[in-house]
Amino acid sequence: MSLPADAEAKVPAIPLARWADRQLAALARDHGLPRLHGAALLGERGAHGGYRVGGRISAGLGGSRLLPTRDGRWFALTLIRDVDRELLPALFQDEALAVFDHAAIAAAALRHDCADLLERGRMLGLPVASADEEPVSAPVEILERGDKRRRAAGHRPLVVDLSAIWAGPLAGHLLWQAGMEVVKVESLTRPDLIRRDDPATFDRINQGKASLLVDFASAEQKARLIGLIRSADVVIESSRPRALRHLCIDADALVREVPGLVWLTVTGHGARGEPANWVGIGNDCGVAGGLSRALAEVTGEIGYVGDAIADPLTGIVGAREVLRALQQGGAKRIGLSMSAIVAMALAEERAFDRAALDCELRSWGQAVGHPFPALAPRVPSAPVRPLGADTERYLAAALAC
């Protein structure tokens, strides 16, 4: 059934936007950020990218799909890299699988139970999820602690942002809006993909940041990067443990050694144990956090909610946790689980106003095929630095470790 016109007018752009809005209001109140709105941060990429609500296919390029399995459950599979498709024969145990044929992939999913696909997919390093799983990690976890640091009045914190895509860079963007100096670090061989694929979003969340381009094959540049990290107040990264080891970065040791250093680790499903090795991306983490199942409970139809919704929710939580930690003064490594943050936001929003949330989910479910709600563009207020423009300035001053 359709909602009355006045009810539709009150529905946020995306379910959980009201939850995000309350977090952003608290950031503005407690930390002096400009007042941003949840609907804008969750919906601006979709609104300005011409996205449509896709149902069982994620919004935008449709890189994630919900597939029914043999046991009647729903399996989320995200395919945005060529290497992911190369792993599909192993995932579905079918060497002859046509890996670019959506119908063939869907048929293969129907020959397996969801739990088996989930276990095998995560072992292979694929971004996968089940609509019926529960997050295995806490949304926010303190992984390591270190000594306090006294900061002089008026000190402008330095943030080294090693993350990519959306969640981590959004956290860095919010910290920049709080007045911090943010340095975005990209790999010489693998720059941030959205710089090329979604330049409008890149510009919004990376405006005002210095730009460093680092050759991670160079021992000297890696050493100088670690020297820069030692001088920082905050580090943001979204790497799996093996990738950090490859960079010769020991996050826990740095937190123990550098007083007051706040280290934010953004993960799909947790930063400890086996979940630290699981790959998670915004759309499948939203499924793993229970949002697609919540949609099905209200509408009778499974589907994706929002646009890679775990990313902006996690970016907001990340900024909140960093600002809290800086106020407390002690060094701290903070682990974020994107899937668990979605589950937390969903539970808190249900407790806050279950009827309103169900109304929003129902409206979202009825909107399949329709464009994302229109939003006025959030125009960058600071320039976006050319790639690598500030490398020499920051790395030349850093002491090699």
Q: Which of 11-20, 336-345, 360-369 is the least confident region?
A: 11-20
Mean pLDDT of all residues in 61-87: 95
pLDDT tens, position by position, 178-235 = 999 999 999 999 999 899 989 999 999 999 999 999 999 999 999 999 999 999 999 9
Instruction: Tell me the sheet residues that pair with 262.
Output: 234, 332
pLDDT score of 7: 39
- What percent of the chain has pLDDT above 70? 96
Distance CA 302, CA 65 (A): 11
- pLDDT given for residue 11 in this prediction: 39
Domain ranges of the chain: 5-52+136-277+302-395
pLDDT range class, residue 311, cuts 50, 70, 90: very high
Look at strands 128-130 and 64-68 and give their pairing: unpaired
Position 4 scores a pLDDT of 42
Would the pLDDT of 45 be above 90?
A: yes
pLDDT for position 102: 97
- Choose among 114, 127, 119, 120: nearest CA to 78: 127
Residue 245 has a pLDDT of 86
Is residue 379's pLDDT more than 90?
Answer: no
Q: Is the pLDDT of residue 285 over 60?
A: yes
> Is the pLDDT assigned to residue 368 strictly greater than 70?
yes
Taking the C-alpha atoms of residue 306 and residue 269, their distance in angstroms, rounded to an integer, is 19
CA atoms of 253 and 276, how far apart (whole Å): 18
Categorise residue 273: left if φ over 0, alpha if ψ from -120 to 50, beta otherwise: left
Q: In Å, how far are 144, 327, 368 from 339, measured between CA atoms?
A: 21, 27, 23
Mean pLDDT of 84-111: 98
- Tens digits of per-residue pLDDT, 291-306? 999 999 999 999 999 9
The one-letter amino acid at 101: D
Other CB atoms within 10 A of residue 367 CB = 17
Fold of 5-52+136-277+302-395: Rossmann fold (3.40.50)
Share of the chain above pLDDT 90, in %: 88
Q: Are 261 and 146 in contact (CB under 8 A)?
A: yes
Is the pLDDT confidence value at 22 over 50? yes
Asked whether residue 135 carries a pLDDT value surpassing 50, the answer given is: yes
Of the pLDDT bands very low, low, confident and very high (cuts 50, 70, 90), residue 2 is very low
Residue 397: pLDDT over 90: no
Dihedral-angle region of residue 104 (phi above 0 means left; psi in -120 to 50 means alpha; beta otherwise): alpha
Say what the pLDDT of residue 401 is.
Answer: 44
Least confident of 183-187, 290-294, 344-348, 370-374: 370-374
Q: Biggest alpha carbon distance in the chain?
A: 65
Look at residue 249 in the predicted model and tell me its pLDDT: 92
Confidence grade of residue 82 (pLDDT, cut at 50, 70, 90)? confident
The one-character DSSP state at 277 is G
Task: Kindly indicate the confidence band of residue 399, based on its pLDDT and cuts at 50, 70 and 90.
Answer: low
**pLDDT value for 8:** 41
**Alpha helices, DSSP H only, in 181-280?**
193-197, 199-206, 219-230, 241-246, 251-257
Q: Give start and end residues of each alpha helix (H) in 62-101.
A: 82-86, 88-92
Q: Give the helix/strand (H/E) hosting 170.
A: helix 167-177
| Amino acid letter, residue 269 | H
**Per-residue pLDDT, 327:** 94
- CA dihedral 264→270→276→282, nearest 10 degrees, is -80
Mean pLDDT over residues 53-68, rounded? Answer: 95
Which one, of 309, 284, 305, 285, lies nearest residue 366 by Cα?
305
How far apart CA 148 and CA 330 sit, in angstroms, is 4
Residue 121 carries which side chain, given as an amino acid letter? G
Q: What is the DSSP string of 307-361?
A: TTTHHHHHHHHHHHHHHHHHHH-EEEEEEEEHHHHHHHHHHHHHHHHHHHHHHHH
Question: What would the pLDDT profile of 115-126 be if each residue is shown by its tens digit?
Answer: 999 999 999 999
Answer yes or no: are the C-beta atoms of 55 and 304 closer than 8 Å.
Answer: yes
Predicted local distance difference test score (pLDDT) of residue 13: 72
Sequence-separated (6 or more) residues with CB below 8 Å from residue 364? 14, 15, 53, 295, 303, 305
The pLDDT tens digits for 98-113 are 999 999 999 999 999 9
The mean pLDDT of the chain is: 93
Enter the pTM of the model: 0.94
Q: What is the pLDDT of residue 12?
A: 52
